[in-house]
């Protein structure tokens, strides 16, 4: 992975040396070990009445310690030593969270009537949460959380529908920093229970050599076809991206080999960067892992994770079909070829030599299908990654590699974990003040209660929030604000969350920020803005899918014949849409043909048999006209 680019994307860690580096490494390894154990065997109690306090508090404790040790207080700090302030913050972290873990069972009997020490510790925790987020993810999310915190206190002075009676400082601190409605709430629990074990699994999968295996499989499948290297990028980025939980990091990891390969075979640098960005973005909603936000969807909707995997599969496949066909049309339009046959590995050989390294992914899916919890599935997948590496001597993981995978998993989790506190604060304020319902009323007022306009406003919200916040944080924020509006318009709860989840991906590929596209452009050495514009075109199925969720049974929520008809017509419509976007069908398409392709795709997306017949008829006519025109020319 290109660490320089990742540091620019996700913050710069201090390069520690000596005893401090050893201590940080041991903390990180212990962090991963503890939560591998809990994912397999349940809460650790150590004599406490319940393990939930140690589970949530322990996750925050480890995360804060690592963030304060590894991340400098100021950007650009080149120090290799941890300053005194950071050590003081670490000490406060241990005291504050240690107090909460030990004292919470007693506090549970005095909820609503906290003692002075409860409030002091809660206030310190709130301050620590702000500082952790500021160091790791920057000022955007931190500022947003501060605004919410002020809103909880100054509610009586807020005009209009957003105003409320206000809360005392004691009540705010108790709810957000002492009870389980804020910082110690559902977000921290979901991060600790589901997301962190899968981040660890991703580090073990990579350490076992699955990355090169995925590359080789992708090359053997798609490398020889027209525009093969770009299709390799789509396949490999989709597989790796569903595990990493970060579109930008995935774009850098897989782009380091796919982007140069695409450029060598004739793709323009900004197009190569855009392809990688679009493919990496799709990895976030590709089952069975779907990045990290899918676990939050399961928690927020009280839906079994396996059910989410089932209904999310078809839309994800359609997205990659759309991106893949656009890539194919780009290659056809520019006369690009695939890689020479002699440079391609044979699929059979790759499967026999390296296929066993990919088995943890189907094993994970099998454990989920068998009815076990996601965290148990992650535990089994981690253990299987280690055991399967022993099949051949050259891939066998030794103690150092296992230890490094533990450390890498913990460090990789910090970009997500650092947001737990401030997002918990935001959600806590939303719950306290009823802001979610009030915000949904504003959205409904602006949209006039028209569902398509409500979806568009949600997309705008996802784009704006996603400019400076991670995908996971964007989803959480947007879900608590926009989902109530969609539900008010009779959109099912799970469908509403999936709509929001997909729309949160927009910011990563849409200029002027387009973080994922900009990350890929650093490797392609091209103009970031051009890469962003090309990426938003390639990833534009993102804008279509939410409407399909709402208006069609694409989420498997209808009679089987209707579901099958929708899947088939949507697949054909997606191909027609790709042809319109890239100006190519059987041959180059003129303006009129592109308009007709767009009309055909629209007809095919509408859930009606007659519109499907019309769309196919138009598509057939375009095919004949497009082919004959160029044959005569």
pLDDT over 60 (residue 388) = yes
Give the tokens for residue 480: 């608590």
Distance CA 276, CA 231 (A): 10
Instruction: Quote the pLDDT of residue 148.
Output: 92
CA neighbours within 13 Å on the CB side: how many for 11? 27
User: Is a pLDDT exceeding 90 seen at residue 577?
Assistant: yes
Query: Domain extents for the chain?
Result: 558-633
pLDDT at residue 1 greater than cutoff 50: no
Per the CB < 8 A criterion, the answer to whether 322 and 541 are in contact is yes
- If you average pLDDT over every residue of the chain, what do you get? 86
Share of the chain above pLDDT 70, in %: 93
Asked whether residue 9 carries a pLDDT value surpassing 50, the answer given is no
pLDDT tier for residue 79 given thresholds of 50, 70 and 90: low
Region 138-164: mean pLDDT is: 90
Is the pTM higher than 0.85? The answer reads no
Q: Where are the beta strands (DSSP E) in 298-448?
A: none
Reply yes or no on whether the pLDDT at 22 is more than 60.
yes
pLDDT in tens, 513-556: 677 887 788 788 888 888 889 999 999 999 999 999 999 999 99
The residues near 320 (Cβ < 8 Å, ≥ 6 apart) are: 234, 238, 279, 282, 286
The angle, 0 to 180 degrees and rounded to 10, between the axes of the packed helices 305-333 and 541-551 is 140
Per-residue pLDDT band at 10 (split at 50, 70, 90) = very low
Task: Provide the pLDDT for residue 48.
Answer: 57
Q: Where are the alpha helices (DSSP H) in 50-83?
A: 52-70
pLDDT in tens, 315-335: 999 999 999 999 989 988 888
Helix (H, G, I), strand (E, B) or coil at 460: helix
Query: For residues 81, 82, 83 and 85, what is the CA-based torsion angle, rounded to 10 degrees?
Result: 180
Task: State mean pLDDT over 193-211.
Answer: 86
DSSP 8-state code for residue 523 = H
Give the DSSP H or E segment for 387.
helix 374-388
So what's the pLDDT on residue 580?
95
Residue 630 binned pLDDT confidence (cut-offs 50, 70, 90): low
Whole-number Å distance between alpha carbons of 382 and 427? 32
Position 314 confidence tier, pLDDT thresholds 50, 70, 90 = very high
Q: Which residues contact 201 (CB under 8 A, 6 or more apart)?
A: 243, 360, 364, 378, 381, 382, 385, 409
* CB-CB contact of 124 with 176 (8 Å): no
DSSP 184-236: TSHHHHHIIIIIHHHHHHHHHHHHTTHHHHHHHHHHHHHTTSTTHHHHHHHHH
Q: Is the pLDDT of residue 259 over 60?
A: yes
Q: Rounded CA gap, 561 and 559, in Å? A: 6
Cα separation, 232 vs 221, in Å, equals 8
Q: 118-138: buried (b, 16+ CB within 10 Å) or exposed (e) per residue?
A: bbebbbbbbebbbbbbbbbbe
Band (pLDDT 50/70/90 cuts) for residue 243 is: low
Q: pLDDT at residue 15 above 80?
A: no
Q: Between the ranges 12-16, 508-512, 564-568, where is the mean pLDDT highest?
A: 564-568
Tell me which residue of 600, 614, 556, 559 sits closest to 317, measured CA to CA.
Answer: 556
* Residues with Cβ within 8 Å of residue 624, at least 6 apart in sequence: none
Cα separation, 427 vs 476, in Å, equals 8
Query: Are the CB atoms for 485 and 478 separated by under 8 Å?
Result: no
Predicted pLDDT at 258: 79
- pLDDT surpasses 70 at 12: no
Please tell me the predicted confidence (pLDDT) of residue 244: 60
The yes-or-no verdict on residue 633 having pLDDT over 60 is no
What 8-state DSSP symbol labels residue 577? H
Q: Taking residues 397-410, what's their average pLDDT? A: 93
Comparing 64-73, 184-193, 300-309, 469-478, which segment has the lowest mean pLDDT? Answer: 469-478
pLDDT confidence of residue 555: 93
Q: How many angstroms separate the CA atoms of 257 and 266, rounded?
A: 15
Read off the pLDDT of residues 119-138 as tens digits, 9 standing for 90 and up. 999 999 999 999 999 998 88
Residue 343 CA, distance from chain mean position: 34
3-class SS of residue 431: helix
- Dihedral sign for Cα atoms in the order 184, 186, 190, 193: positive
Residues in Cβ contact with 178 at an 8 Å cutoff, skipping those fewer than 6 apart: 100, 107, 114, 118, 119, 121, 122
Q: Out of 1-5, 74-78, 147-151, which region has the weakest mean confidence (pLDDT)?
A: 1-5
Between 288 and 99, where is the model more confident? 99
- Comparison of pLDDT for 100 and 473, the residue scoring more: 100
Lowest mean pLDDT among 147-161, 192-206, 281-295, 455-469: 281-295
Token reading at 525? 């050495």
Taking 50 as the threshold, does the pLDDT of residue 7 lie above it? no
């Amino acid at each position: 992975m290109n660490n320089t680019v990742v540091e620019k994307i996700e913050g710069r860690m201090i390069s520690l040396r000596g005893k401090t580096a050893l201590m940080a490494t041991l903390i990180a390894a212990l962090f991963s070990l503890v939560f591998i154990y809990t994912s397999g065997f349940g809460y650790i109690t150590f004599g406490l009445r319940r393990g939930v306090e140690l589970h949530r508090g322990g996750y925050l404790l480890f995360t804060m310690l690592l963030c304060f040790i590894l991340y400098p207080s100021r950007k650009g700090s080149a120090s290799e030593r941890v300053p005194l302030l950071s050590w003081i913050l670490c000490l406060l972290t241990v005291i504050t969270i240690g107090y909460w873990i030990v004292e919470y069972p007693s506090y549970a009997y005095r909820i609503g009537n906290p003692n002075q020490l409860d409030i002091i510790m809660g206030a310190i925790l709130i301050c620590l949460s702000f500082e952790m987020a500021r160091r790791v993810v920057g000022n955007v999310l931190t500022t947003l959380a501060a605004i919410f915190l002020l809103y909880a206190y100054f509610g009586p002075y807020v005009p209009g529908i957003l105003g409320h009676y206000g809360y005392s400082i004691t009540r705010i601190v108790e709810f957000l920093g002492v009870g389980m409605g804020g910082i110690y709430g559902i977000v921290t629990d979901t991060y600790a229970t589901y997301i962190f074990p899968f981040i660890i699994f991703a580090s073990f999968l990579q350490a076992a050599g699955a990355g090169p295996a995925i590359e080789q499989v992708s090359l053997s499948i798609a490398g020889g076809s027209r525009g093969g290297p770009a299709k390799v990028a789509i396949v490999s980025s989709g597989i790796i991206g569903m595990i990493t939980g970060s579109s930008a990091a995935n774009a850098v990891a897989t782009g380091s080999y796919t982007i140069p390969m695409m450029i060598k075979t004739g793709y323009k640098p900004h197009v190569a960067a855009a392809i990688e960005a679009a493919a990496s973005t799709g990895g976030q909603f590709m089952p069975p892992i779907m990045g990290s936000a899918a676990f939050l969807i399961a928690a927020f909707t009280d839906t079994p994770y396996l059910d989410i995997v089932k209904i999310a599969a078809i839309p994800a496949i359609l997205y990659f079909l759309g991106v893949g066909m656009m890539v194919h049309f780009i290659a056809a339009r520019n006369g690009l070829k695939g890689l020479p046959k002699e440079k391609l590995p044979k699929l059979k050989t790759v499967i026999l030599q390296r296929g066993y390294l990919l088995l943890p992914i189907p094993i994970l899916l099998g454990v989920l299908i068998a009815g076990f919890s996601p965290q148990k599935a992650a535990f089994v997948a981690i253990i299987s990654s280690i055991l399967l590496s022993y099949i051949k001597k050259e891939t066998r993981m030794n103690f150092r590699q296992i230890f490094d995978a533990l450390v890498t998993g913990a460090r990789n989790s910090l970009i997500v974990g650092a947001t737990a506190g401030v997002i918990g604060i935001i959600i806590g304020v939303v719950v306290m003040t009823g802001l979610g319902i009030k915000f949904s009323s504003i959205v409904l007022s602006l949209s006039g209660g028209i569902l398509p306009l409500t979806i568009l406003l949600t997309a705008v919200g996802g784009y704006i929030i996603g400019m400076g916040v991670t995908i996971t944080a964007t989803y959480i924020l947007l879900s608590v604000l926009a989902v109530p509006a969609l539900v008010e318009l009779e959109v099912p709860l799970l469908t509403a969350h999936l709509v929001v989840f997909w729309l949160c991906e927009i910011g990563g590929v849409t200029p002027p920020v387009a973080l994922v596209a900009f990350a890929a452009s650093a490797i392609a050495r091209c103009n970031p803005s051009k890469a962003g514009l090309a990426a938003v075109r390639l990833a534009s199925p993102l804008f279509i899918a939410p409407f399909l969720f709402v208006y069609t049974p694409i989420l498997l929520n209808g009679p089987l014949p209707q579901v099958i008809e929708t899947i088939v017509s949507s697949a054909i419509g997606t191909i027609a849409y790709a042809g319109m976007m890239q100006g190519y069908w059987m041959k180059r398409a003129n303006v009129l043909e592109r308009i007709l392709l767009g009309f055909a795709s629209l007809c095919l997306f509408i859930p009606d048999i007659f519109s499907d017949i019309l769309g196919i008829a138009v598509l057939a006519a375009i095919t004949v006209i497009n082919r004959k025109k160029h044959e005569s020319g």
